[in-house]
Amino acid sequence: MSDLQISGLNKSYGAVPVLKGIDLSIHSGEFVVFVGPSGCGKSTLLRMIAGLEEITAGTISIGGQVVNDMPPADRAIAMVFQSYALYPHMSVRDNMSFGMRMAKAPKAEIDRRVNAAADMLQLTLLLDRLPKQLSGGQRQRVAIGRAITRDPKVFLFDEPLSNLDAALRVATRIEIARLKQSMPQTTMIYVTHDQVEAMTLADRIVVMRAGHIEQVGTPLELYHNPANQFVAGFIGSPAMNFVAVTPIVDGQVKSSSGDPVAIPFAFQPSGSLMLGVRPEDLVLTTGPALVRGTASIIENLGELAIAYVDVGGAEPLIVKLPGDSALRQGDAVALSAPQSRLHLFGADGNTLRPASAQTEI
């Protein structure tokens, strides 16, 4: 079993707390991705699981065994770093077999595991090359292959694609997805700041902020049902738009640049609220509008266009439109959205749940 349990985990550097009461269960065979802004503690948490950082308080258990005081080499964990960490004077074969050779594994077993990993990662023809003779994507695959040969209970990936260009990131991401399919019983934990990596690879995503876990869920759960405004704004690319609205009566609000509109939420008509709507859910309208403004920038990407609409706030609203949209820079814009695609956040930033969601506004 390779399930992992984290209970009451804290990490401080002197008087500076970095992780604050982390509780998390990761099931055997899951692919879990940690995301969050820089400095939120996601890489520190990964390194604590690996045994590379001391635990201030709390426990980490792997397969039912507490590993707090266990050396990294004894935790049945393999870690893949963003910097590859290959030995430059060793061949691909020797890099991949290094851990097993240090453990004095039988040569036949070393050869079997290296060849199997090389075949899985399409490295067979590269086994006698040195790292300097490889592309960045090939080097990262060698680092992954080295981890595979150790036959770990848990894989840890620390932003493994961040040093690759866009095309190599896509290709290597696909290789990692194939790796997961070929090793369904192995638990994998992955740290990234990349939205696409998180959404496409994860069984579940852990969203972190300032040393806390904000929400844990499947990619689509977090996308469609964020627990708060932070998660709503962090998951999704381009990010969710936020519009400050003033309650008029229960179930009706008005933005500073739009018309009074009905929304499917129950709330007390006092104070201010924040309405969230994703760029792909905003549509051009000639009727009542949630917001009105001016198209300031149009980015045409072929199959779609990204419009930035100035509505009088500090940030423009981002709208996804069909690539053949007739909207041009400087055009007046009125935007609406289906009620079922709206999100409402209270003064504390937490999500208010809809009472119903049927019509378009």
Candidates 144, 200, 132, 147; CA nearest to 170 is 200
The string of pLDDT tens digits covering residues 75-102 is: 989 888 877 789 999 999 999 999 889 8
pLDDT (0 to 100) of residue 219: 96
pLDDT reported for residue 268: 65
Note whether 156 and 222 are same-domain residues.
yes
DSSP annotation string for 186-204 = SEEEEE-S-HHHHHHH-SE
Six token digits for residue 193: 């700041």
Q: How many CA atoms lie within 13 A of 247 on its CB side?
A: 17
Do residues 218 and 125 share a domain?
yes
The enclosing domain of 87 has a CATH number of: 3.40.50.300
> Do 14 and 155 fall into the same domain?
yes
Q: What is the pLDDT of residue 270?
A: 64
CA–centroid distance for 271 within its chain: 33
Does 360 map to a domain?
A: no
Q: How far apart are the first and last CA of the chain?
A: 51
**Which H/E stretch holds residue 142?**
helix 136-149
Strand order across the 4-13 sheet: 16-26, 4-13, 57-62, 65-66
Establish if 357 belongs to a structural domain: no
Q: CB-based contacts of 233: which residues, under 8 Å, 6+ apart?
A: 239, 240, 242, 276
* pLDDT of amino acid 359: 43
Residue 24, domain member (yes or no)? yes
Residue whose entry in the numeric block shows the structure tokens 């003064």: 347
pLDDT tier, 358 (very low <50, low <70, confident <90, very high otherwise) = very low
The last residue of a domain, from among 203, 231, 259: 231
Q: Which helix (H) or strand (E) holds 206?
A: strand 204-209
| Residues of the domain holding 285 | 238-352
Same domain, 130 and 201: yes
Mean of pLDDT over the chain: 90
Q: Are residue 78 and residue 100 in the same domain, yes or no?
A: yes
pLDDT of 213 above 90: yes
In a domain, 177, yes or no: yes
Q: Work out the average pLDDT over 265-275.
A: 75
Give a yes or no: residue 120 inside a domain: yes
- The answer on 213 and 113 residing in a single domain is yes
- Same domain flag for 8 and 112: yes
Which of 182, 213, 231 terminates a domain? The answer is 231
- Domain tally for the chain? 2
pLDDT in tens, 1-25: 579 999 999 999 999 999 999 999 9
Alpha-carbon torsion, ordered 26, 28, 30, 35, to 10 deg: 30
Same domain, 260 and 339: yes
> Do 131 and 95 form a contact (C-beta atoms < 8 A)?
yes
Domain identity same for 201 and 141: yes
Closest-CA residue to 173 (of 200, 155, 134):
200
What number is the average pLDDT over the span 304-333?
92
Q: Which of 189, 206, 231 is the last residue of a domain?
A: 231
| Amino acid letter, 86 | L
Residue 272's domain is classified under what CATH number?
2.40.50.140
Indicate whether 125 and 155 sit together in one domain: yes
Verify that 106 and 251 share a domain, yes or no: no
- At 356 the pLDDT is 53
**Same-domain check for residues 164 and 262:** no
Q: Determine the pLDDT at residue 230.
A: 96
321 within some domain: yes
Is 32 inside a domain boundary? yes
